[in-house]
Amino acid sequence: MKNDTSIQEFEYRPVRPFIQIPEKVLMYILQLTPSSFSKVYLYLYNISYGAGYNKTFMYTSVREIAKNLNISIGRVHNAITYFKKIGAIEKIVSKAVIGTKFLVNVPEFSSAKGLWFFTKPEKVRYLMMKEKLITEDKIVMSKIKRYKSQKENQKIELFDKKNN
């Protein structure tokens, strides 16, 4: 008889070089426009939480991000400005030649207001919590319903409308 251990399901977090992106972070990123903004946030998320820190573990600059992501410097600058404005990132320290270290805040969705807001990582439970197995149909259906309801309820304005 063949022992079928290949079908076992494991509940553990993979080790580097894998990074787990929480569902709320992914849902926020997927609806960002322009898409270069989502690339910038993912990059900053990767060099912070991907390395096990809540801030970027190395100094980075607009030019370096643009080079690594293959997008224009102007787009990266606009994304950084936007994320600072909404509280997604905060400048910790900046050095003229080396670059900047950022604290990367994580998104939360307010069902009452229908808006995304950013909060300090220490105040967010989903970074530390481990969910049940995703293979259960009940959990999969609840995730699909949650995604559809958030998609219908949210409309994010990237730039303020000026009253001219």
Tally Cβ neighbours within 10 Å of residue 103. Answer: 17
Integer Cα distance of 94 and 56 in angstroms:
12
105-128 burial: b if 16+ Cβ within 10 Å, else e: bbbbbeeeeeebebeebeebeeee
Least confident range from 20-24, 108-112, 145-149: namely: 145-149
Q: Which of the listed CATH numbers 3.30.43.10, 1.10.10.10, 2.60.40.10, 3.40.50.720 matches domain 23-121?
A: 1.10.10.10
Q: pLDDT digit string (tens) for 11-47?
A: 555 565 677 788 888 888 888 888 899 999 999 998 8
CA–CA separation, 109 and 22 (whole Å): 13
pLDDT at 164 over 50: no
- With cut-offs at 50, 70 and 90, classify the pLDDT of residue 86: very high
3-state secondary structure of 49: helix
Domain positions in the chain: 23-121
